[in-house]
């Protein structure tokens, strides 16, 4: 796949801080040029034949997950609004409320004007933005996730 290699890892925990084993972490994102591999994506940027744009992983017994991908590109939504690089997540496990969220990359200027990121309060916004560090040419970041139990 074209683009900067990225490794995302984290733990899925419940509200009491206990690991959620066997949670399904479903991810999807645009390619390095800001195009989704989806028939309804109106973008004109080229598709990357070596990048499918989605994947799934399950958490281990300690709630850990990780995956390797590429850094997604920004893309225009409308006049005056471009989405910053981000990755979509849907996390599900029987006995817990499903969570759909997005993870953003720190130090992206488009974060300051992203209507979806700005729609959450400041404290929650800080938990959605990950500060990646370079390890031998791979950007690595930690994205912890909390699922609420169904009561």
Q: Which residues form the catalytic set? A: 36, 75, 83, 86, 88
Q: Which two tokens stand for residue 34?
A: 């800001």
The angle subtended at Cα 117 by Cα 66 and Cα 121, nearest 5°, is 105
Length reported for the chain: 151
120/70 Cα distance (integer angstroms): 26
Instruction: Tell me phi and psi for residue 91, to 5 degrees.
Output: -115, 130
């Amino acid at each position: 796949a074209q683009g900067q290699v990225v490794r995302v890892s984290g733990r899925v925990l419940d509200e009491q801080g206990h690991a959620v084993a066997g949670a399904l972490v479903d991810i999807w994102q645009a390619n390095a040029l800001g195009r989704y591999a989806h028939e309804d994506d109106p973008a004109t940027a080229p598709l990357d034949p070596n990048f499918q744009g989605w994947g799934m992983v399950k958490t281990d017994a300690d709630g850990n997950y990780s995956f390797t991908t590429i850094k997604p590109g920004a893309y225009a939504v409308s006049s005056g609004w471009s989405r910053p690089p981000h990755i979509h997540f849907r996390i599900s496990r029987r006995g817990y409320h499903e969570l759909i969220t997005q993870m953003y990359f720190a130090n992206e200027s488009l974060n300051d004007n992203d209507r979806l990121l700005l729609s959450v309060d400041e404290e929650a916004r800080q938990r959605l933005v990950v500060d990646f560090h370079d390890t031998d040419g791979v950007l690595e970041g930690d994205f912890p996730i909390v699922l609420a139990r169904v009561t």
